[in-house]
Amino acid sequence: MYKNLIKTLGATAAVALLTVGASAPASAKVGFGKPGEAVNLVIGYQPYYTESWSGVVLNGKSMWKKHLPKGSTAKFEIGLQGSVIVGKLLGEKNHIGYMGDMPAIVSSMREKQVDLRMISVLGTSKQQCNIFLVPNSAPKFKNGMEAVKWMDGKLVAAPHGACTDRFALLAFEQAGIKPSKYLNQNIENITKNLEAGKIAAAAIWEPTASKIVMKGIARRGATGADFSGDDSGDAGFLVMMNEIIQDRPDVHKGWLEAELDAQLFLADLGNASAVAKMADDQTEGIERKILWASLYQDEGGVNKLTLDFVFNPKVKTMLKASTAFLAGKKKFGKRKELRPESVWDDMARKVMKARGLSSPLGKIDGVPMSQYK
């Protein structure tokens, strides 16, 4: 089912990265019908990005069927990077998107093309999109701060413009160092260059980080947990077309009900094996054990993922930092702040409150690898 997926989507990602920032007039309405009618949705999601795995669960267990009108359909399309999904949302080929904070923020600022809103928080972490890997030959460090200080004057890489980029620059600043070169490299080149010893470190995300470590290519040097402030973490956001929000409040609410179900399922450690199996079924090239480790393996007693669901104060701090980072790169033109409509989580709050729940819904703390089944 997923044969040649990485090669195909890698090419698509390259195109998307070049076109997401382009300006175009708003399109005509897609047309999602009237409340109560069956609806046909296309969802962009990232099974190769652990922080957005509520989408994997929602897809794998078809949780949407319980909450959408009878006869509705939901087609899930994989994007290797959030920018791919943003491009499809702006082209009205995807209607809902699961992605990291950076592409989600950018998508919400392209309202002249398509009005997109961030309607829920998939999760937050200092152990997902903020991982520094170093060669196995690197010195043994006392902590992550020492590891980053060691990078001073050396070659370091990360996919620029992604959450890894913001984390790397924050780490350099807090450690007071400057690499000799800070290279913009994709995951494939980072893996090859770490193995060949051509770079001293690289910032990447899960599950790729666990794959590289468990294959013996490199080891963890530092994570967001080694640095102060909520802004050293990252987040995943759920994005939806405003046309759905305005014209189909039943679909807006129904999808959030399903998303809540998915996050509660993720939060239960008893479901770890089932989650890993679903991720395995929806990806290729990554062993199930590695997928399990990316979300559940203990990394020094640090939280692996928090299921926030709504934009609570911690998430808003991360959002502010990411927005400032993107504004500094002029991703919104002359604008420096999010438009007020970018975050639209009122319905998520209502759904959560109706079930007697509060944010966060739960936390996933690492457990020993011996618990893998």
Residue-level pLDDT at 13: 39
What does the pLDDT look like over 274-297, one tens digit per residue? 999 999 999 999 999 999 999 999
Instruction: Flag whether pLDDT at 19 surpasses 70.
Output: no
pLDDT in tens, 206-262: 999 999 999 999 999 999 999 988 888 999 999 999 999 999 999 999 999 999 999
Mapped onto helix, strand or coil, the DSSP state of residue 120 is: strand
Q: Residue 80 has what pLDDT? A: 87
In whole angstroms, give the CA distance from residue 217 to residue 373. Answer: 24
pLDDT of residue 54: 98
The answer to whether residue 8 scores a pLDDT higher than 50 is no
Looking at the chain, which residues constitute the CATH 3.40.190.10 domain(s)? 5-14+34-124+233-371, 131-229
pLDDT, averaged across the chain: 92
Per CATH, the number for 131-229 is: 3.40.190.10
Q: Is 99 helix (H, G, I), strand (E, B) or coil?
A: strand
Provide the pLDDT confidence category of residue 11 given band limits of 50, 70 and 90.
very low
Give the pLDDT confidence score for residue 48 in this predicted structure.
96
Beta strand 201-204 pairing with 155-158: parallel
Half-sphere exposure of 178 (CA within 13 A, CB side): 1
3-state secondary structure at position 333: coil
Residue 55 has pLDDT above 70, yes or no: yes
pLDDT at 231: 84
DSSP β-ladder status, 155-158 and 181-184: parallel
Model confidence at 16: pLDDT above 90: no
CA distances to 4, 17, 164, 215 from 159, rounded to whole Å, are 22, 12, 7, 21
Report pLDDT digits (tens) over 331-373. Answer: 999 999 999 999 999 999 999 999 999 999 999 999 999 999 8
pLDDT of residue 26: 52
CA distance 158 to 161: 9
Candidates 3.40.190.10, 3.40.50.460, 3.40.50.920, 3.40.50.20; correct CATH number of 5-14+34-124+233-371? Answer: 3.40.190.10
